[in-house]
Amino acid sequence: MKKALLLLTFLFTAAMVLAGCGSSSSTSTSAGKEKIVIGYFPNINHVPAMVAKDKGFFEQQLGDGTTIEYKTFAEGGSFMTALKTGEIDAGLVGPGPAMNNYSTGADVKIIAGASTGGTVVLARKGVEINSVEDFAGKTFITPGVGCTHDVQYETYLEEQGITSQRIGGTMKHLTGQPAQYAAMLKAGKVDIAVAPEPWAAVIEKETGAEVVIGWDEVSFGETLPASVMVTSGKMIEENPETVQKIIDAHKEAVKFINENPAEAQEITIKDIKETTGQELERDVVELAWERIGFTHEVDAQAIQDFSDSSYALKFLKDKPEFKTLIDDSYLN
C-alpha cells in the first residue's frame, strides 16, 4: 500500500507537468478544422471526462469537422487560468475554484454537474471518536484553509457547536497535500484527516484509520458537486451550439458511468496510467467509487448554501451571490 501512496503522490506531480503542455484552443488546425480543448484532472471525480474521451463522445457530438484536444491539470488554480486565457474551452473543475474566480470577476459559467461526494473524514488508529463532542480539541488536516473539504467538515461540526481555533474554538487545523496524510497520521501529528477520494481509500488501507464521518454524512456530501462542467460566458455567447453539443456528450458519459461502472473503472485506471505513466490499484478505485456519485445535474441551492456557510465560518469577507454563475439551460 505504500506503493499506492507513492503512486498518488506522483499523479499530482505528473499532472502539473502535463498542465503546461498543449496549444491554445478555439483556433484552426492546419487543415482548417475547428479545435475544442477539454480540461480535466486525473482523479476519480473527473471520470466523466475520461469516459467521454475514451468513448469519443465529444467527437461524435461535434462532428468530423472539429478536432478535440484534452488537457489535464493538477489543481483548480491552473485550470481556471487556462479557462480565462482561452487555453481550454470547457472542462471539469471543483466548484470552489469556479466560485472563487467568479467572485473576483472572472468570466466563468457552471453549465452542468459531474460528480458528488468523495469527502471522507477519518480518525487516526487509536483515537476514539464516539460522538461529535470527541472532535473538540483534536488536530485535523485538510488540503487548504477554506477549501471545499474544510468547509464541509467545519460546517458539520459548527452545527454541533464545535469550531476551529481560527474562529475561537478548540480544534487545531493543519493543511497539507493528501499524499502526506498517512505519514502524519502514523506519526501522531494529526488526529483527524479530511480527505478527498481516492486519498481516503488509500489512507484507510495504509494506516488502518477509521471513517468517522462518511461522504454522505458530512455537510453538503450528497448535494454539493465535487466537480462541475464549466465554460466561459464568451463561449456561450459566441458558440451556443457547440456548448450544447459539449453538454450532450457530457451527459452521455455520465449515463455510461452509471450503467457500466466496472468498465468505467477500467477506463479510469487506463486513463490515469496513460496520463501519468502510473497505475492505480483496482481495490483502491473500487473503494473510492462507493463514495462518489455521478450526475450531470447541478444543485444551485447547494452551491449557494455552501458559499453562505463559507461566509458564516469567516472564510469569505463578503457574502457572495451566485445567481448568474450557473447556466443550466443546456441541460434541458
According to the model, what pLDDT value does residue 14 have?
43
Domain 35-117+224-313 shares a fold with domain 119-213: yes
Cell of 311: 461566509
Structural domain boundaries of the chain?
35-117+224-313, 119-213
According to the model, what pLDDT value does residue 79 have?
92
Rounded to a whole number of angstroms, the distance between the first and last alpha carbons of the chain is 44
Given the candidates 3.30.1360.120, 3.30.460.80, 3.40.50.720, 3.40.190.10, the CATH classification of the domain at 35-117+224-313 is 3.40.190.10
DSSP secondary structure letters along 103-165:
HTT---EEEEEEEEE-EEEEE-TT----SGGGGTT-EEEESSTT-HHHHHHHHHHHTTT--BG
- Is the CATH code 1.10.3720.10 the one for domain 119-213? no
Quote the pTM value.
0.77
Nearest C-alpha neighbor of 220 from the set 286, 147, 164: 147
Place of cell 488526529: 191
CB 79 within 8 A of CB 91: yes
Strand-strand pairing, 292-294 and 172-175 = unpaired
According to the model, what pLDDT value does residue 1 have?
52
One digit per residue, pLDDT tens: the chain, 332 residues?
Answer: 544 444 444 444 444 434 333 334 444 333 334 899 999 988 888 999 999 999 999 999 998 789 999 999 877 888 999 999 999 999 999 888 888 889 888 999 999 999 999 899 999 999 999 999 999 999 999 988 888 888 899 999 999 999 999 999 999 999 987 878 989 999 999 999 999 888 899 899 889 999 999 999 999 998 899 899 999 999 999 999 999 999 999 999 999 999 999 999 999 999 988 887 767 889 989 999 999 999 999 988 898 898 899 889 988 778 878 878 999 999 98
